[in-house]
Chains A and B, each alone.
Chain A
């Protein structure tokens, strides 16, 4: 076997089951690629020893014809997931050195199913960002470059380490989290598939919290099938998370065979925003044609409160984050910067431990919750959420899925938007509505920009109807025949 890392997750899984390859070989190949890909800065922690140990254990099971659905498959884990005895920092200075004595439910599910952990993936600090430039461990570099340019581009965020690692084949697939678009936008920027499940589909237990009512774990994978396989293992009810839902986890991979014949697809007219690049608009139109050709019916729908989603998000998410991040106080874990008394210790620790974007959001959230402003901001935003969710409910009374672009642009250059928080926030304009309403969404690579960068289309489904979503995504994938790959310029 020459190029083990080129196997998709499904292919690797099948080859392992048939004993054509071993997990030790496969894991070793990934570790080698990871070592050569330092320039991408995708991993913040490599757990080579643990990986080989897990691989050996998997091989022993596979040898006996045993093993779980992901037996021996090497994965990358976003550093937001707490991993037992492996440093977990959410890529923040304030959590530096934190070694959890526990394992997040989602990663525990993956290990239960036989997966192998390669290491922890870079992300925006506490998942706050759309470019992976806010990480304490430095920006992640997108494996993709513009044609004829070696300018470093962002891989999207906050799951930029996950998207870059999957695109550069530094893991078979990766875990990620999505609070406002953090799975789907990086997937779109890197030519990968990113699936944000319905709120409550995956347990949040053991995932460093950003905004509790919006956070949801999901996979970034090479194709729709791999995403379906990953979700099946990640999802499930967890008694430790009362917002996780007690519903059977379907066989998402089996659902892919369904096709889209007779499926009704909605095109939300409000997503045709002013100033949208023509190539994005064209891609969207192409997507509509593909689905029609595959037998779906397409109709325009209206989501009238779409324009308010982003400002709503930028009240709700900072408010929740200001409270969720209060626990980083230098007392029980992570960084402590001393002061004359305990208050000064807090202030010094948090000033030194949090980066600029995190501080900005904590201050913003503190302000909107402070005395006298609650009704005007937080309560207002939660009411807008009701209206935004109601828009979707009405649309889904007419159609089965919605099709939109994932992001308003292709990947941009590192440093291009860091000076202007608002322009950075606009990256989430098409993705954030889904989080506010708790719906599932998926980004599928659908074409290349004029500069040769991947572009994604987003599908949005009904709550807990990831199966229909995946079927539609598979149809787009089949029609798009997206086979482009970045040149491996990063190999040392």
Chain B
């Protein structure tokens, strides 16, 4: 598998990272280098192997249905680059 510049642009778009056209070639080269290297996993037959789901085998703990949080409006908005009247403010979203 090989990543071309168009694919890099697509991935960057998915990841919401602006890339300049002059960066594409170098990025494609780097990604291909890493991808070629990980290709070696193909040598291993994993047909009958279950994927690991957690590093430590245990049952998932759960919380009770109890409201534990109070009003944190100030705390959650205090670091926001754009906030007004308790809202987060972002450039207009077009649906």
Q: Do chains A and B touch in the complex (CB under 8 A)?
A: yes
Residues on A facing B (Cβ under 8 Å): 97-99, 101-102, 198-200, 213-214, 239, 242-243, 245-246, 305, 307-308, 311-312, 314-315, 322, 326, 329-336, 338-348, 350-351, 354, 359-360, 362-364, 366-367, 370, 373, 376-377, 379-387, 389, 421-422, 436-438, 463
In the bound complex, what is the Cα–Cα distance between A377 and B72 (angstroms)? 40
8 Å CB contact of A341 from B30, B58, B91: B91
Nearest CB of chain B from residue A384's CB, rounded to whole Å: 6
Q: Is the interface of A mostly helix, strand, loop or mixed?
A: helix
- Chain A residues, CB < 8 A from B88: 331-332
> Are A367 and B31 in contact, CB atoms less than 8 angstroms apart?
yes
> Are B40 and A345 in contact, CB atoms less than 8 angstroms apart?
no
- Chain B residues, CB < 8 A from A389: 52
Nearest CB of chain A from residue B68's CB, rounded to whole Å: 10
> Are A386 and B49 in contact, CB atoms less than 8 angstroms apart?
yes
A to B contact number (C-beta, < 8 Å)? 164
> Are A377 and B76 in contact, CB atoms less than 8 angstroms apart?
no
8 Å CB contact of B16 from A329, A333, A382: A329
Given known A-B contacts A311-B37, A363-B31, A342 and B93 have beta carbons under 8 A apart: yes
Residues on B facing A (Cβ under 8 Å): 1, 3, 7-8, 11-19, 27, 30-31, 33-35, 37-38, 40-42, 44, 46, 49-56, 58, 60-63, 72, 75-82, 88, 90-94
| Shortest Cβ distance from B14 into A: residue | A366
> Are B15 and A97 in contact, CB atoms less than 8 angstroms apart?
no
| Shortest Cβ distance from A328 into B: residue | B16
> Are A463 and B56 in contact, CB atoms less than 8 angstroms apart?
yes
In the bound complex, what is the Cα–Cα distance between A364 and B91 (angstroms)? 28
Nearest CB of chain A from residue B21's CB, rounded to whole Å: 13
- Chain B residues, CB < 8 A from A386: 49-52
In the bound complex, what is the Cα–Cα distance between A389 and B79 (angstroms)? 41
In the bound complex, what is the Cα–Cα distance between A384 and B33 (angstroms)? 20
> Are A421 and B33 in contact, CB atoms less than 8 angstroms apart?
yes
- Chain A residues, CB < 8 A from B91: 338-342, 344-345
Nearest CB of chain A from residue B41's CB, rounded to whole Å: 5
Cβ contacts A to B, 14 pairs, < 8 Å: A213-B55, A214-B55, A307-B40, A331-B81, A331-B90, A332-B88, A342-B93, A345-B91, A347-B17, A351-B18, A364-B35, A385-B51, A422-B37, A438-B55
